[in-house]
Amino acid sequence: MPEDFPSLRESLLAARHVVIFTGAGVSQESGIATFRDRTEGLWARFEPQELATPEAFDRDPALVWAWYEWRRGLIAHAKPNAAHRAIARMQQCLPRLTVITQNVDDLHERAGAENVLHLHGTLAAARCRRCHRPWQHSQVQPSAAAPTAPLSPPDCPHCGNHIRPGVVWFGESLPMATWEAAAEAATDCDMLFSIGTSSLVYPAADLPHQARQRGAMVVQVNPEPTALDAVAHQSLRGKAGDILPTIAGLCVS
């Protein structure tokens, strides 16, 4: 377990506003593959980034829809882990804590976190690819078993085009209001924890830089080195599920 917790404790107890910024690594211990994990089965020949684009969906909607429905099933069968629960506890005991996530799962919310900013949308939402009308997933829980064949997306009842996942694909803009709220939090906070992200996807990955530039303490939690190592004041090497409960324990004076 790493080094300088007394200074972390002091900073946490003195902080007016803390930001928790998470990526796929915070859900890894819930059994949700990270974005840098290799795909398998139907999608073994693809990198996730190749599937998470409007072009991939337009080229083969059934292949991409099957991938998202499989992931939606994994999430429905997954449980929040110790890291999600610790973050929700921190939000309860600190004066102000903003949770910003790149993840499209609802595990932060299911652990009790509130007002989570989803920079890249959520898998719970779906909408028409053309007329953008929201579309409600059926109540039937999707299976967590990886489909063995492509799965055609439903058709929009209004215009007949394909329904698509309610996520932000590569090459698509982030939801403006969510992005602005995240940037406001990053430039206002006294501490920003970057947890379980390779810090490669922009503009999300810029948030810790913005926080640092405005004088916030930036702390990273990741078992591996990342592009943020050069910027973070502290990089705590380890799994989020191991480290976050300790950090949450520092919050109680």
Residues labelled as active-site residues: 120
In the sheet with 191-195, reading across from the earlier edge strand, the strands are 117-118, 97-101, 18-22, 191-195, 217-221, 234-236
Q: How many CB atoms lie within 10 A of CB 79?
A: 12
Binding site for ligand BV8 (CB under 6 A): 23-25, 28-29, 34-36, 49, 52, 102-104, 120, 167-173, 196-198, 200-203, 221-224, 226, 239-241
Q: Least distance (Å) from ligand BV8 to the CB of residue 34? A: 3
| Binding-site partner at residue 91 among Zn ion, ligand BV8, none, CB < 5 to 8 Å by type | none
Alpha-carbon distance of 223 to 239, in angstroms, equals 6
Q: What are the angstrom distances between the C-alpha of 226 and each of 130, 137, 197, 200, 239?
A: 37, 36, 8, 8, 14
Q: Which of 60, 158, 172, 180 lies at the binding interface for Zn ion (CB under 5 A)?
A: 158
Nearer to ligand BV8, 170 or 215 (CB): 170
Is 126 one of the binding residues for Zn ion (CB under 5 A)?
Answer: no
Nearer to Zn ion, 20 or 163 (CB): 163
Alpha-carbon distance of 63 to 153, in angstroms, equals 9
Q: Least distance (Å) from ligand BV8 to the CB of residue 68? A: 7
Nearer to ligand BV8, 173 or 253 (CB): 173
Tokens of 46: 């693809």
Nearer to Zn ion, 154 or 238 (CB): 154
Alpha-carbon distance of 15 to 155, in angstroms, equals 49
Q: Which stretch binds Zn ion (CB under 5 A): 138-146, 156-164, 170-178, 185-193?
A: 156-164
